[in-house]
Amino acid sequence: MGLLVVKAQRQLRKIDNSKVFQGVVIAVILLSALLIGAKTHNLSSNVVAILLLMDVAVTVFFAIEISIRYLACPQKKNFFKSGWNIFDTVIVIGSLVPSGGSGVLLARLLRVFRVLRLVSMVPELRLLINALLKAIPRMGYIALLMFVIFYIYAAIGSMYFHSINEVLWGDVSISMLTLFRVATFEDWTDVMYETMAVHPLSWIYYLTFIFLTAFIFLNMMVGTVLEVMSQEHEQFRAEQHGESGDGGEPASRAQIDKLESEIAEIKALLLAKT
């Protein structure tokens, strides 16, 4: 009996690792996205019935697919240690909620989120999301510093420009919204020319603010994301080649190149001796 279970698990693992099976899953996810978009149009009752039937088929397929992945896992507890597996399981179970009654809104929302399963199925997309999540703590400090700069400039703008335009500079909170408009370059010259009519040197206020926020802090955020993405790509490459240590940090590209050069030297020495 145990041998049959092992064989069945091995076959399920082959199916789960099969590129054909993964391609079919991605195709069904895309089909699910198309079904969601099609339901937003005014369609005849016959077409709606066909779409509902296809939606049920997609839901059943996802339930079978997640069951195959779970049964193929050698240790069932480890299956839920992966955040992506938990995400997929929640989405699939949520899709089984009947679309009628009080749960209709929840069922529709969870069916929309099924499109996000495409992220968990494509390794490159998972890499991007992991890099973004790891970059958020570092970006938080940059955002905090940006908030301080926004607050200082908003207080200054409210004090000096309050009498010019109370709608834009009435208090600190409204001034921060105005500065956000300036930072995103949304008709910011209109705001600047309005204050320059009263304070000719107010252009210094706007240019220094834009230089700090749009050119320095936003580029710092982009640089942080790129740095984390580079680390994630390095780690992914090391895992693909089996070059990560047992629980340690993955080998860097320089270490890999050094190891390959040392192996080439050893081969050359052995060939010379023979």
149 in any annotated domain:
yes
Asked whether the beta carbons of 213 and 142 are under 8 A apart, the reply is no
Residues 21 and 63 in one domain: yes
Residues 199 and 94 in one domain: no
96 in any annotated domain:
yes
With a cut of 50, say whether residue 246 has pLDDT above it: no
Determine the pLDDT at residue 155.
94
CATH label of the domain that carries residue 193 = 1.10.287.70
152 in any annotated domain:
yes
CATH label of the domain that carries residue 48 = 1.20.120.350
- At residue 245 the predicted structure's pLDDT band, cuts being 50, 70 and 90, is very low
CA-CA distances (angstroms) from residue 28 to 21, 88, 107, 158, 160?
11, 14, 18, 55, 59
Residues 148 and 201 in one domain: yes
219 in any annotated domain:
yes
116 in any annotated domain:
yes
- At residue 107 the predicted structure's pLDDT band, cuts being 50, 70 and 90, is low
- At residue 153 the predicted structure's pLDDT band, cuts being 50, 70 and 90, is very high
Task: Determine the structural domain holding residue 18 and report its residue range.
Answer: 7-121
Supply the DSSP symbol for 97: S
pLDDT (mean) for 83-112: 72
* Range ranked top by mean pLDDT from 106-115, 139-148, 232-241: 139-148
Residues 186 and 84 in one domain: no
Domain boundary among 121, 148, 164: 121
Residues 112 and 168 in one domain: no
Which of 93-107, 136-150, 186-200, 255-269 is least confident? 93-107
CB neighbour list of residue 232: distance below 8 Å, 6 or more residues apart: 127, 130, 131, 134
Could you report the per-residue pLDDT of 57-88, keeping only the tens digit for each?
888 888 888 888 888 887 777 788 877 788 88
269 in any annotated domain:
no
Q: How many structural domains compose the chain?
A: 2
Residues 151 and 226 in one domain: yes
Residues 115 and 144 in one domain: no
Angle between helices 45-72 and 2-17 (to 10 degrees): 120
Residues in the chain: 274
Higher per-residue pLDDT: 233 or 172 = 172
**Exposed, middle or buried by CB within 10 Å (0-12, 13-18, 19+), for 228?**
buried
71 in any annotated domain:
yes
2 in any annotated domain:
no
Which of 15-19, 103-107, 184-188, 259-263 is least confident? 103-107
Residues 114 and 146 in one domain: no
C-alpha angle 213-191-158 in degrees, rounded to nearest 5 = 75
